Structure 1
Amino acid sequence: MGTSNFTWLFFSISGRISRWVYFLATMLLSVIAVIPLYKSMIAPLGSAEYEMWNMIFALVFLGSLWPHVALSVKRFHDFNREGYFAVTLFIPVLSILAFLILCLYPGDPGANRYGRYTNAPQD
């Protein structure tokens, strides 16, 4: 995957992505966030190391918000829905259900208003 494809996948809201790409990209972002969280959990409470890993986790978490939104918007585009539905991922009760729907529900088989192809920017 080239740099432009990587940039498009995680930072652009144009186009569509398949459920498999959505799942893998979301898992990658989650693993990246879990590493500093784990490190802070094993550090002694109140130590400088604990504070450092908590700060790194907070920065990683904040930095991953937009990529999560961009992935979700493109996934909603795949079944011809507006990206505004990605807001459901920020509602605690609905977030798990929305994630499961985005991972399991198949997208439109052909072209739709958000692009001719899945896993590509809008034409």
Structure 2
Amino acid sequence: MASPDQPGLIWLFFGWSGRLSRLPYALAWGFWMALAAAFLTRMVMTPHDEPAFVTWTLLFFAVGVVSTVSSVMLTIKRLHDMALPAPLVLCLFVPAISIFALIAFMVWPGTPGPNAHGLVPDRPKA
């Protein structure tokens, strides 16, 4: 269980308040990408006539839905850290700019010191 000094994984992946610095943001994205890749690999490697193919396909799409929701929440917290408006999260859904937006969110430094979304990064707003 997470203490008030140490936020938990539920806040990291699904909370929207507070700030998130570059490293946890990149690691969380990496986690979702690796998990999706693992399920996609199993789905592709399983012959289509086996019952396990349906299971792996459903798991792949379930991870896709959950990771999309989580990625939006992660990006909102990252935008909070950068003192940018949360609606910029929509940049991740525009194919022509999504990869550039993701890279910018991973490398652009956050606001030094307190801002309107919290005193320090990697914590929910107190």
Of all paired residues, the percent bearing the same amino acid is: 32
Q: What is residue 110 of structure 1 aligned with on the other side?
A: 113
Number of residues of Structure 1 aligned to a counterpart in Structure 2: 123
Q: What is residue 84 of structure 1 aligned with on the other side?
A: 87
Q: What is residue 58 of structure 1 aligned with on the other side?
A: 61
Distance in 2 (CA, whole Å) between partners of 1:121 and 1:54 is 35
Q: What is residue 98 of structure 1 aligned with on the other side?
A: 101
AA aligned opposite 1:55? L
How far does residue 48 in structure 1 lie from its aligned partner after superposition?
Answer: 2.2
Q: What is residue 20 of structure 2 aligned with on the other side?
A: 17
How far does residue 49 in structure 1 lie from its aligned partner after superposition?
Answer: 2.2
Distance in 2 (CA, whole Å) between partners of 1:7 and 1:51 is 29
How far does residue 46 in structure 1 lie from its aligned partner after superposition?
Answer: 4.1
Where structure 2 has 5 or more consecutive residues not aligned to the other structure, the ranges are: none
Where structure 1 has 5 or more consecutive residues not aligned to the other structure, the ranges are: none
Distance in 2 (CA, whole Å) between partners of 1:46 and 1:94 is 38
How far does residue 84 in structure 1 lie from its aligned partner after superposition?
Answer: 1.0
TM-score in terms of structure 1 length: 0.92
- Cα RMSD (Å): 1.6
Distance in 2 (CA, whole Å) between partners of 1:18 and 1:50 is 38
Higher helix share: 1
